[in-house]
Amino acid sequence: MTVRLLALLLLPQLALQAQTAQRFDIIITELLPDPAPPVSLPNHEFVELKNNSARVINLRGWKLSDGTSTATINTDIEIQPDSFVIICPNAAVSSYAEFGRTIGVSNFPSLNNEADLITLYAPEGNSIHAVAYSGQWYSNPVKATGGWALEIIDPRNPCTGAGNWTAAIHHSGGTPGRQNSVNANNSDQLPPALLRTWTIDSVTIVVVFDESLDSTMAATPGHYHLDHAVGAPVAAEPVSPLFNEVMLKLASPIRTDQVYQLTVRNVMDCSGNAIGMLNKAKAGLPAPPVARTVIINELLFNPPSGGYDYIELYNRSGSIVDLKQLYVAGRSGNGALSGIQQLSTISRLLFPGQYLVLTENAAWLRQRFSIREPADIIELASLPTLPDDQGILAITSQQGEIIDELHYHRDWHFALLSEQDGVALERIDYGQSTQDSHNWMSAAATTGFGTPGFQNSQFRADLQSQGTVSITPSLFSPDNDGFDDLANIRYQMTEPGYVASITIFDAAGMPVRHLARSATLGMQGIFRWDGLDNNRRRLPVGVYVILTEIFNLQGKTKKIKNTVTLVRRL
């Protein structure tokens, strides 16, 4: 065969291999961050790659990086469409070779057990696939302790993160070199959501989404709009390698005394889903925090058994604060700050009137309390020590200046509480002194003894009306037809610190239901009566008297009588 003929025969294949790799041509499909204790796999980390394209690709010059260490594939190895290759340290090649095609590399990036960002780069330097995994992806606390691989569920959906990854189910702990044990259809049908923004400088805003975007659509400036006459940016640059952030360059600077609203339209995720209703977020230029800009607003220092402390902060000022500039700390016996923790290692904005909750276990907090804005919870590796009897909590700036400080004591809890564990202390008034013991009260029982992330149950509004109790509707029919099945007993107090007992009497004056006994009240709330007596039996139709007895530790008492008619619909 002549050299010319051989060249002609090889030309199509060489041309195909010379094509510039596109995003998701090769994807990361499996990884083993914590190989010990081994299940059946070798006690070495690995990353599995799959050719997700329709052509043969030579992996020479491809790179795998965690941002600190970068490994380069220095051998010619061709990977066929829909086939796999295992990447591991040189020392582990012999251990993994029995599972499939294996490439050993020097400087293999160490896969952190808790969380890491692993990125695959083509020889040209462009990011092809990135995976920002965490231990929560296992969805199994036993497998998260080690020996089990994380596997992608649907390789055709490579840009979805946690929703498309889980722990391997194969008895060996993983499936390196072959189809994943969790392989299944798991297409992305959800539109991307705009989560938040953060600010680099007065003309540069970074927009954060909940998933990777189509980088072409995300790079169109006209898809973004800021109010207050700012308009569209002059440039929009998707941020590699995850492409879940977009950097916007503005034509004119924004002001520190203004909160802006960003609206995003026509942006798609990398599965082609267009952004929907979750397309707005606040934006602004933060100012350095000063004393009492951010205050301690609620504190759970004595959680129930198996529970966790939490700290709620509130931005009472008109300024935007970057949480990267704030720290939480306690004090040691000699008065020095101790247990100092930065609130966020990345820029994250706290806007005027916004709450923030700090905890070591966000999942427990969501199970225990009603959470209205999960995005307002920050999980820290550790909080300062918060003793159950008394302690000190401080918020500081980067310069060590005290922004707010609280010396709390368990005696500040409501004295008639039978159990303090699991009951948060709430600040009553944002404007009053943090250290005033009269400015703190136990969270109301009617809110589950805590309000992390929203207005305190004991918050005092200066313009509230006289304390009242009202019943709606005046006639109710507890027959489970979905119409007026409950009698709603609504209360509104003029000050915090009250408890209530509610008793229901029939027309003869006999008590038929003890609805509440010494229940701590918030500033407003609701109790509901279902028309049953104390033994959960149906009561006859007729007029009933609802007696609400309210009192506090200062000796203030009040009895309020209301009537309600129980009817049965034919």
One DSSP character per residue, 115-154 reads EEEEEEE-TTS-EEEEEEEEGGGG--TTGGGTT--EEES-
As to burial, measured by CB atoms within 10 angstroms (0-12 exposed, 13-18 middle, 19+ buried), residue 328 is buried
Q: What is the dihedral of CA 428, 386, 418, 455, to 10 degrees?
A: 30
Tokens 């149906």, residue? 538
- 3-class secondary structure, 367: helix
**Pairing between β-strand 475-476 and β-strand 557-566 as defined by DSSP bridges:** parallel
CA distance 60 to 80: 14
Amino acid at 185: N
Q: What is the dihedral of CA 11, 13, 16, 19, to 10 degrees?
A: -70
CA distance 248 to 263: 13
Whether the Cβ atoms of residue 289 and residue 352 lie closer than 8 Å to each other: no
The per-residue pLDDT for 570 is: 59
- At 17, list the tokens: 């291999």
User: Of the candidates 320, 242, 238, which has an alpha carbon nearest to the alpha carbon of residue 281?
Assistant: 320
Amino acid at 331: R
Beta carbons within 10 angstroms of residue 335's beta carbon: 8
Stretch (H or E) spanning 362: helix 362-368
User: Between the CA of residue 407 and those of 183, 218, 428, 430, 504, what are the distances in Å?
Assistant: 54, 48, 16, 16, 42
| Helix%, strand%, coil% for the chain, nearest 5 | 10, 35, 50
CA distance 380 to 407: 22
Beta carbons within 10 angstroms of residue 344's beta carbon: 17
CA distance 64 to 494: 63
As to burial, measured by CB atoms within 10 angstroms (0-12 exposed, 13-18 middle, 19+ buried), residue 382 is exposed
The per-residue pLDDT for 12 is: 46
CA distance 163 to 189: 11
Beta carbons within 10 angstroms of residue 255's beta carbon: 12
- At 29, list the tokens: 């499909």
Task: Name the DSSP class of 269.
Answer: B
The per-residue pLDDT for 111 is: 96
CA distance 457 to 441: 9
CA distance 442 to 420: 9
Determine the length of the chain.
570
User: Of the candidates 435, 458, 346, 339, which has an alpha carbon nearest to the alpha carbon of residue 387?
Assistant: 339
User: Between the CA of residue 551 and those of 441, 523, 557, what are the distances in Å?
Assistant: 15, 13, 4
Whether the Cβ atoms of residue 338 and residue 282 lie closer than 8 Å to each other: no
Q: What is the dihedral of CA 349, 352, 355, 357, to 10 degrees?
A: 30
Tokens 């798609």, residue? 268
Chunked in runs of 10, what are the mean pLDDT values of the chain (570 residues)? 45 52 96 97 98 96 96 95 97 96 96 96 95 94 96 95 96 97 96 96 97 95 96 97 97 93 96 96 96 96 96 94 97 93 96 96 94 93 95 95 96 87 93 89 91 89 58 90 88 85 92 91 90 93 93 76 87
As to burial, measured by CB atoms within 10 angstroms (0-12 exposed, 13-18 middle, 19+ buried), residue 171 is exposed
- 3-class secondary structure, 442: strand
Q: Name the H helices within 205-250.
A: 215-218
CA distance 514 to 505: 9
Tokens 């600190």, residue? 68
User: Of the candidates 168, 188, 161, which has an alpha carbon nearest to the alpha carbon of residue 273?
Assistant: 188
- 3-class secondary structure, 12: helix
The per-residue pLDDT for 438 is: 85
- At 278, list the tokens: 């979750």
